[in-house]
Every structure is written in C-alpha cells, then in structure tokens.
C-alpha cells in the first residue's frame, strides 16, 4: 500500500514537471497583466482558457462572480452510489495598486493549477480507487480588497468540498502562519471650504479632522494588546494650501487574532474618528468593508502531512513568523483546509516592488511547482486512506466546537 502511494506521488511530481513550461506561461501571463480586485478579467480568461485546453475538465467561467471560475474533473473510481470525496484547490490572481503582483498571487494561481493537474494525472494512472473522487479548482478573485472567497462562501460554492488547499508566497516555507481577522473602514470627513488666508474662520477644516483621527488612532495603539493591529492611510488630504479642505478620506484596517474581537477594536477606532469630527466641526461618514476576514482555523493533520511531503521534496520549514490576513480564513471555518506559505527564492518582503520582481522571476518557478507537488501529494494522502479524511474532518469539527464556545 505504502509503495503504491509512493508511486502515485511520484506520478504527481513527473506530471507537474512535464507541464512546467505551460504552468510557467500561466503564471507569467498573470504577472505581466496585474489587475485589481474584482477586475481580474485577463487573469480569469487566461485560467479559463488553460483549463478548457486541458483534457477532461468541465469549466464554468464567471462562476457566481464576474472574475471567478470553477473547473471540475471527475468523479472517478469508487463504486456507484458511494459518496464523493471532492478535493479543492484555490487560485488567487488579484494584484495591488501601483506595484503589481507584489504579493505573488500570480504564483498562487499557478500553484493551484499545477497541483490540480498533478493530482488528476496521478488519479488517472490508477484504475481502482476506494472512493469516488472529484477535483475542483476555484478561481477566487479579490483577496487584497473585498474578499471574493467570502462572496463565494455566501453563494454556497464551498459546500460540496471535503478539503481545500492553496499556498501563498512569502520569505519562507511554513505550514501555517497566524493570519489575522480583519475589518476595514473608509472614513470621510466633510467640512467647508474657504480662502485659507482671507477668511479662514469661515472654513471647517476636513484635513484637521483627518490629522486628528490619525493622531487619535496612534495614541490608542499604545494601549492595544500585542495581537491587535491598526493602520491607515490618508487617501485624500485636500487640494491646495490656500483652500481650506472641505473633504478628506482615510482608509483603516483593524486586525485581531480572533474575529470575535473585531467589534471591540472597531468600537475603539470609531470613537477616535467621531472625536476628530466633533473637535473640528466636520461631518463624518464611516463606510465599513463588505466582508470581514476570519483568522485561519488550523488543521494540524493536514499541516503535518503537508510538511512530511514538503520535506520529502527538500523543503525546510520555519515554525514561526508573522502574516497579514486572508479570506481563506473564512473558508477554513467552513471546510477543512490548509494555507501554507512558500519561499520563492528571494528575501524580498511582500507588498514591495522588490517582491513584484521576485514573483515574476524565473527563480520562483522551482519553488512554486515544488509547493504544488507537496499540496497534490497531501491530497493523495487524504484520498488514499479514508481514515486520514475521517481524522481531518474530526479535527475540523473539534476545532469548530472549541471556537464556538463562549
């Protein structure tokens, strides 16, 4: 049995290696054409074309969202009437404003596609399987802004998945990093314009409100727990020194280790925004982001299997580190899954121009496809032994119960 599983894992690796040029082409096409959240039309079309050209996939473009897609293969194996084990791989492909693929989502898309291709090839190489198996690739837009996975969850797109995999590029390999829950807010101050020298007393200064809000938050931060974060930018600050600004805009992200704390951090931040409005006489408008992201719910059974497979492929794993947030967090509360991180051959930091260069470099290919192999091998572990899937699901149920306790 163990030898058979090993041979199938070998098949995963060979198939991904054989497809490496077209997979590189896929990631490259997305990297060369960076698109913002919900606008990823080129990436969507590129991925849809890719899976349409591959044999055996049923492809649904514009799946529930304009720039989402679904590609499914199977079910295969098993006996009639048996329930299906549906393995999901996720592809992200949105970029950041001004700096392109500075978070390497082009590589996430490539990695998800590669893992799906590798797993399918291994499944095709074997005639008999103990269970019916289906492979699903979901193209999930808007991770950097909005949360396409949360939209898709609300549409029921994850309901028939048993287990779900994706991997995110960073500076090291890690089976898990503590992604934080996040809530966002756009803050608008409305004041009144006036000539800043001739009759400033006629003005109501919206820039003063923005600056006070920024300072209030900075003071508040000192009292935060170490696992809370708040950070913002001034998006509009006025137009000319001699016009008292009548409108300013800030955007803030509030993060906590658990989504249960988001209302607490939000209440504190709201007080800061309102205080600035009151002090300056401005009107304030708070527009909250449509989707909160949850922290990632861990599944150590899957993490351990992934680590074992990664190590067999030569990966070295870090055991700690920091992270931002991800809409995969919400997925992990609905379906057991993992969101490991992978090294791409560069020490550059995410969300910098240097990382954009690194995620488009040829060097990143080896690491991306190695990660895809480890994901597909982990999927094989789950499929090959029903006990493993039971353990994964049991751990998920227990984690949910713990998490739901008051």
Ligand X SMILES: NCCC[C@H](NC(=O)CCN)C(=O)O
Q: Which residues bind ligand X (CB under 6 A)?
A: 103, 143-145, 168, 182, 184, 324-326
Q: Which is nearer to ligand X, 90 or 244 (CB)?
A: 90
Give 237's contacts (C-beta < 8 A, 6+ positions apart).
207, 210, 245, 248
Q: Residue 228 CB, nearest distance to ligand X (Å)?
A: 14
- 7 alpha carbon, distance to own chain's centre: 32
Q: Residue 226 CB, nearest distance to ligand X (Å)?
A: 17
Q: Which is nearer to ligand X, 291 or 301 (CB)?
A: 291
Q: Residue 319 CB, nearest distance to ligand X (Å)?
A: 20
CA distance 308 to 329: 23
Q: Which is nearer to ligand X, 191 or 324 (CB)?
A: 324
CA distance 279 to 214: 13
Are the C-beta atoms of 315 and 372 separated by less than 8 Å?
no
Q: Which residue is nearest to ligand X (CB)?
A: 324
Beta 229-236 vs 247-256: how paired, if at all? Answer: antiparallel
Q: Residue 284 CB, nearest distance to ligand X (Å)?
A: 21
Catalogue the E-assigned strands of 203-246: 229-236
Q: Which is nearer to ligand X, 248 or 326 (CB)?
A: 326
Q: Residue 184 CB, nearest distance to ligand X (Å)?
A: 5
Q: Which is nearer to ligand X, 143 or 303 (CB)?
A: 143
∠ at Cα 256 (250, 258), nearest 5°? 140
Q: Residue 344 CB, nearest distance to ligand X (Å)?
A: 13
**Structure tokens that stand for 47 in this block:** 């991925």
Q: Residue 182 CB, nearest distance to ligand X (Å)?
A: 6
Give which of 347, 342, 351, 169 is closest to 253, Cα–Cα. Answer: 351
Q: Which residues pair with 138 in a beta bridge?
A: 70, 90
Q: Which is nearer to ligand X, 86 or 359 (CB)?
A: 359
The DSSP string of 75-129 is EESS-TTPPEEEEEEEE----BTTTBSTT-HHHHHHHHHHHHHHHHHHHHT-S--
Q: Which is nearer to ligand X, 90 or 103 (CB)?
A: 103
Q: Residue 56 CB, nearest distance to ligand X (Å)?
A: 31
Secondary structure class of 232 (helix, strand, coil): strand
Q: Which is nearer to ligand X, 72 or 371 (CB)?
A: 371
Beta 58-60 vs 69-76: how paired, if at all? Answer: antiparallel
């Amino acid at each position: 049995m163990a030898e058979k599983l090993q041979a199938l894992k070998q098949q995963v690796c060979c198939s991904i290696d054989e497809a490496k040029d077209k997979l590189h082409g896929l990631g490259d096409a997305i990297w060369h054409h960076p698109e913002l959240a919900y606008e990823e039309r080129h990436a969507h079309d590129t991925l849809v074309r890719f899976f349409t050209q591959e044999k055996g996939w049923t492809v649904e473009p514009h799946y529930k969202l304009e720039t989402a897609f679904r590609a499914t293969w199977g079910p295969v194996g098993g006996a009639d009437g048996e329930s299906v084990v549906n393995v999901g791989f996720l592809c992200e492909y949105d970029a950041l404003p001004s700096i392109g693929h500075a978070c390497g989502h082009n590589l996430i898309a490539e990695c998800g596609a590669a893992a799906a291709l590798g797993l399918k090839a291994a499944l095709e190489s074997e005639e008999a399987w103990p269970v019916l198996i289906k492979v699903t690739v979901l193209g999930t837009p808007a991770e950097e802004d909005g949360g396409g996975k949360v939209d898709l969850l609300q549409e029921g797109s994850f309901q028939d998945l048993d287990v779900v995999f994706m991997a995110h590029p960073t500076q090291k390999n890690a089976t898990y990093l503590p992604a934080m829950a996040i809530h966002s807010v756009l803050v608008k101050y409305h004041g009144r314009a006036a000539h800043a020298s001739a009759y400033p007393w006629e003005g109501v200064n919206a820039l003063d409100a923005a600056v006070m809000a920024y300072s209030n938050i900075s003071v508040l931060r000192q009292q935060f727990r170490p696992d809370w974060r708040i950070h913002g930018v001034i998006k509009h600050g006025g137009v000319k020194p001699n016009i008292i600004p009548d409108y300013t805009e800030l955007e803030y992200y509030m993060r906590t280790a658990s989504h249960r704390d988001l209302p607490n951090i939000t209440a504190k931040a709201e007080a800061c925004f309102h205080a600035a409005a009151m002090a300056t006489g401005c009107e304030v408008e708070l527009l909250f982001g449509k989707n909160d992201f949850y922290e990632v719910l861990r599944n150590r059974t899957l993490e351990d299997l992934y680590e074992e497979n990664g190590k067999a492929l030569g990966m070295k794993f870090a055991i700690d580190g920091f992270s931002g947030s991800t809409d995969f967090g919400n997925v992990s509360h609905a379906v057991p899954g993992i969101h490991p991180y992978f090294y791409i051959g560069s020490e550059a930091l995410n969300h910098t121009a240097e990382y954009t260069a690194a995620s488009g470099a040829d060097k990143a290919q080896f690491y991306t496809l190695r990660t895809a192999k480890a994901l597909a091998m982990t999927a094989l572990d789950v499929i090959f032994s029903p006990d493993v899937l039971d353990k994964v699901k049991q751990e998920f149920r227990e984690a949910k119960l713990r998490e739901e306790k008051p």
